[in-house]
Amino acid sequence: MFRLFLVFTASTCIVLGSVNLVFSSERSDENQVLNVIQKMESAFKAMEDYTCEVKQVFFQDGVEDQHYRFKFYFKKEKKIRVDFSHPYSALTIFYIGGEKEATVVPFRFMPALKFRFSIDNSMIKTQAGQRIDQTDMGHFIGFMSKNLKRVKQREGEFQEDVAQVKFFFWAQDYIEEKNDEKYLITISKKNWLPIRIERYNLEGKPLETTDIQNYSIDTHLEEKLFTP
C-alpha cells in the first residue's frame, strides 16, 4: 500500500509539473509580448512625428490579390497624410484626428482638385475595410494592448536577436472585432515599431501582409504637409 502511495504521489507530481511547465511557458510568452507592447507604447508616446514607406498585399482565398504602396506621414495629435505610389501614382489622402471626413486629392500635381469623403466611405477604406483613422501606429499599438488583455494567447514562437523581435499574436479582427485571427509581428528594436505584420485566419490562410521600412522619426514635419 505504501509503495502504491509513493508511485501515485510521484506520478501526480510529474503530471502537475508538466502542466505547470506548459502554463509557465504560455505565461512566459505572454509576458514577453506584454513587455514588447509596453516598450512600443513608451516609444510612440515619446515621438512627435514619423514617416515610413509601406507595401501592403491583400489575399483572396490564400492567393495574393491586391498590392498597394504608399508613404505614410503622421504628426501628433493624429494628423495623417498618405501619398500613394501604386496603384494610384498621384493620389493623396489627408486626415485630422476627430474629424468625420477626410480630404482626397486625386492628383498631387493638381492640388486645387480635392474632394471630401466620410471616413466610413468604402472608397477610402483599405481593401480589408480599415478606416483612415485606424492606420497609424498609435492605433495599432492600442489594438495590440487591448487584445492581449481579452484574447487568450496560444503557445507560439517568440524570437529575439539584437535587431528585432518576432512573435505570434492572437487577436480579434480589427474591423468588426468578431473573429479571432493570428498575427505574425516583427518589431524593430531600433525604434520599437513594426517592420512587418502578417495577418492570418485561424486555419492559417494569409489575409494580409504589411511591410514597413525607412522610418524617419521626429523630423519636425511641417504643418503644411497635412494641409490639403
**What is the SS3 assignment for 16?**
helix
Instruction: Break the chain into its structural domains and give their ranges.
Output: 34-226
Residue 132 DSSP label: G
**What is the SS3 assignment for 84?**
strand
Q: What grid cell was written down for 90?
A: 498621384
pLDDT score for 177: 83
pLDDT score for 139: 96
Report CA-CA distances (Å) from 205 to 126, 186, 210: 19, 18, 15
CATH class of the region 34-226: mainly beta
What are the tens digits of pLDDT across the range 119-133? 999 999 999 899 999
Mean pLDDT of the chain: 88
Report CA-CA distances (Å) from 28 to 12, 24, 93, 146: 24, 6, 41, 19
Which stretches in the chain have pLDDT values below 50?
1-26
Residue 97 near residue 133, CB atoms below 8 Å: yes
